[in-house]
Amino acid sequence: MVVAPRMDPEIDTNIDRDDGLAAVRHIAESVPDPELVVVTVGDLGIIRDLRRDGASVEIDVTPTYSACPATLAIELAIETAVAAAGYEARVRRVLAPAWTTDWITPAGRAKLKDAGIAPPLRRAGSEVDDDAYFARPQVACPRCDSLDTTELSAFGATACKAQYRCLSCREPFDYFKCL
């Protein structure tokens, strides 16, 4: 399995301290997702804003799913990474606007595909009604790009994924559900 290189938060510690906010953003966005380590929280688009709050920086982070068990782990990982670089930072959990998979960056989508996870289809502008009974989005196989795929399970190993199988190359794969 091809796994995209993982950004290491340690490498960002030499960034010019004069540009604190940008540096903190870079460090925070480089933290890998604890359950999907091939992507960073920056790739997922869950860091919504940063601002100075006296001597420290406040980082707005939005959860993916309301009960995603990784939410707290992600928040702690961000605070730890930023603190390790010598900055004082506090994560603020923001719920609105609700996270959508449309916020996953192009780089994040490419990393998911390289790891064998079909990236979510675009919700915005989609004509497909995902909520209709027995209608399923046409998901491309992340390995052979065939569109001849079928859903195996509406739920998968994490709240954000469903399980599919490619009928061309016969490989099963995870699909990052469109939210």
Partner 1 sequence: MAGRDDLLALLLRIGDDHLILGHRLSEWCGHAPMLEEDLALPNMALDLIGTARMCYGYAAEIEGDGRSEDDYAFLRDGTDFRHILMVERPNGDFAFTILRQFLFAAYMHPVWDGLTGSTDARLADHAGKAVKEMAYHVRHSGEWVIRLGDGTEESARRMMAALDELAPYIGEMFESDETAQRLVTAGLLADPDAVRATFDGTVSRTFAMAKLPSLDVTAGISGGRTGRHGEVLGHLLAEMQFMQRAYPGQTW
Tokens of 115: 């790891």
| 65: contact with partner 1 by CB under 8 A | yes
- Secondary structure of 16-70 in the HEC alphabet? CHHHHHHHHHHHHHCCECCCCCCCEHHHHCCEEEEEEECCEEEEEECCCCCCCCH
Options 116, 159, 169, 171; binder of partner 1; rule CB under 8 A: 159
Options 16, 18, 127, 131; binder of partner 1; rule CB under 8 A: 131
> Residue 124 and residue 21: Cα distance in Å, rounded?
30
First and final C-alpha spacing in the chain:
26
Identify which of residues 69 and 86 has a Cβ nearer to partner 1 in the complex: 69
| 124: contact with partner 1 by CB under 8 A | no
| 138: contact with partner 1 by CB under 8 A | no
Identify which of residues 3 and 157 has a Cβ nearer to partner 1 in the complex: 157
Nearest CA-CA partner of 81 in 121, 129, 41, 137: 41
> Residue 62 and residue 89: Cα distance in Å, rounded?
16
Nearest CA-CA partner of 81 in 145, 167, 160, 8: 8
| 98: contact with partner 1 by CB under 8 A | yes
Identify which of residues 159 and 169 has a Cβ nearer to partner 1 in the complex: 159
Options 35, 156, 169, 171; binder of partner 1; rule CB under 8 A: 156
Options 153, 167, 168, 172; binder of partner 1; rule CB under 8 A: 153
| 134: contact with partner 1 by CB under 8 A | yes
Q: Name the residues that contact partner 1, by CB under 8 A.
A: 63, 65-69, 94-99, 130-134, 152-157, 159, 163, 177, 179
